[in-house]
Amino acid sequence: MDREGFHNRAVEPQSHAIEGLLAAEDADREGGEWDTARAGEGEEREAGSVISMSSDDSSVEDEPVEHGERVRAEEQEAVAEVIAAEMQDALTSDDDDDEFELPRRYAVGANWHHVARAHMEMLVNAGRDRRVALSNNEMVGMLKYAGYLKSAALTDAFLALPRASFVPGAADEAYLDTPMRLAGLNFNVSAPHMHAMSLEALDLGAGQRVLDVGCGCGVVSALAALLVGKGGCVVGMDVLPAAVSLSEANLAQLMSSNAAFKSTAAPVALHHHNVLFPHASLPEGGFDRIYVGAACPAARLRALSRLLAPNGKMVVPVASELRLLSKSAKGEVGAKVLSQVRFGDLIVPSDAYIVLKTLEWERSLQCVAPIPPSTYVDDLAEASSLATAPVPPSAAAASSPPSSSSALAVDSPPALEHDGLGEPDCALVGADGWRLSAHKALLKVRCQHFRARFDSGMRDAASDVLAVPDNFSKETVEAFLHYVYRDALPPQLSAPQ
């Protein structure tokens, strides 16, 4: 679209909205982010701030213009003078009846002042401000034009996952390149250029393990999942339950509505947890890439860097700097400043509380019995060697037909077909008369109780009838035999267990 066409689409001046912009300026700064790298070399301005309208702005006066451009500059200056005069009247007016009323088009969403500001910039700059987009494709094009999106893979991911799908009810604001405040949820969503710059710096690749700290609405987790693919994994964490719930809802919607995402994206695990506390999903050296969406105190960087694998990278705001931390193969960590920014602070508990949580975690690990690796294959081989009279599977199945009420056909488990155990040579018998066939050799190899019983030398050691205590139900014994023969519990267990 040419500049004239863009200008013709700009909305009419909204004088009263200017007063709202000024009133909202503090709210815009509170907890949001700003980026001085956006304005270009030698210039710093807050992301999303109102553009300069001073007539003595050297950046405007020094720019050589042709005749047509000079006419447009004069038009802009005239509009700026009108807006500035109305702003001054609004600020100095003592008329209590002159109540500010927000135009309806800006009355939806917590970031109405971003929308109003963007429209004013479109008007005054006649379309030359490339932060204003009306669709996801336009937003992606502007991010590419500004140099934030560089790689084809990340560009395709941004195109595949429209920002509006992560901020329900805020479609009018979703594609503005500014941070968004989600009303009622008490957190911000970073500006698109910030996500683009951070993910470009992380250089995500297939099969990588990614941690998204402060997952918020889930947009970074989703983008990362698409970039690392089915061979990778993504863990998202947030201390706000509402944020985790929103991320879960957004990712569930993606899985149900976006076939490409469902078929190609990595699994995403979301947790309501503080990343500075120990967790089963936070192993030391467990992540190739980490994105931190809140400002981390420099004193806590060591704790986060422990989560990085060798040759890993982490993007993290520290004070007013957005840093890229890189860990070498030897574990040495270096840092590079990507931009000057401001983020909301990471919620950092006290040292004492971190120690307490760590002790609780270590104590809980001591209460968990370690699960030994499976010995199923070796057990089957040993049981086959102990079997004295192997017969064909058909004979084994015919000798003891399964009970119609049994959830498990123990007479013909897969082991009979592959490992030459022969026909069942014993039966487990319940107090009320039910019987379940089995193989002594496999029971002996797979269960310490039966091993001790068969090797005890007592009179019942050689018995083919194995009485089951009264307090064991048939279903419990069926589940036990299911595990003995198949190395897994049955998919459904009926009470009592």
| Beta strand 321-327 pairing with 333-340 | antiparallel
* Token reading at 457: 């030398």
Within 109-218, residue ranges assigned H as helices are 112-125, 136-145, 152-160, 171-174, 192-202
> Residue 297 CB: number of other CB atoms within 10 A?
11
Instruction: Assess contact for 387 and 439: CB atoms under 8 A.
Output: yes
Instruction: Assess contact for 319 and 208: CB atoms under 8 A.
Output: no
Q: Is 216 left (phi over 0), alpha (psi -120 to 50) or beta?
A: left
Within 327-375, residue ranges assigned H as helices are 351-366
Q: How far apart are CA 222 and CA 219, in angstroms?
A: 5
Instruction: Assess contact for 419 and 449: CB atoms under 8 A.
Output: no
Q: How far apart are CA 198 and CA 210, in angstroms?
A: 13
Which of the residues 165, 190, 339, 437 is marked catalytic? 190
b/e sequence 25-63, b meaning 16+ C-beta within 10 Å:
beebeebbbbbbbbeeeeeeebbbbbeebeeeeeeeeee
Q: How far apart are CA 31 and CA 189, in angstroms?
A: 10
Torsion angles phi and psi, residue 475, rounded to 5 = -65, -35
Q: Among 493, 452, 489, 446, which Cα is nearest to 474's?
A: 493
Q: Among 121, 113, 28, 42, which Cα is nearest to 342's?
A: 28
Question: What does the CA dihedral 59, 60, 61, 62 come to, rounded to 10 degrees?
Answer: 50
Question: What does the CA dihedral 464, 465, 471, 474 come to, rounded to 10 degrees?
Answer: 90
CA–centroid distance for 126 within its chain:
39
Q: Among 14, 38, 29, which Cα is nearest to 131's?
A: 38
Q: Is 73 left (phi over 0), alpha (psi -120 to 50) or beta?
A: alpha
* Residue 348: strand, helix, or coil: coil
* Residue 271: strand, helix, or coil: strand
Q: Among 274, 423, 473, 123, which Cα is nearest to 410's?
A: 423
Residues in the chain: 497
Is 190 among the residues known to form the active site? yes
Sequence-ordered list of residues with C-beta below 8 angstroms from that of 56, at least 6 positions apart, any chain: none
Q: Which amino acid, 393?
A: P
Question: What amino acid positions are annotated as catalytic residues?
Answer: 190
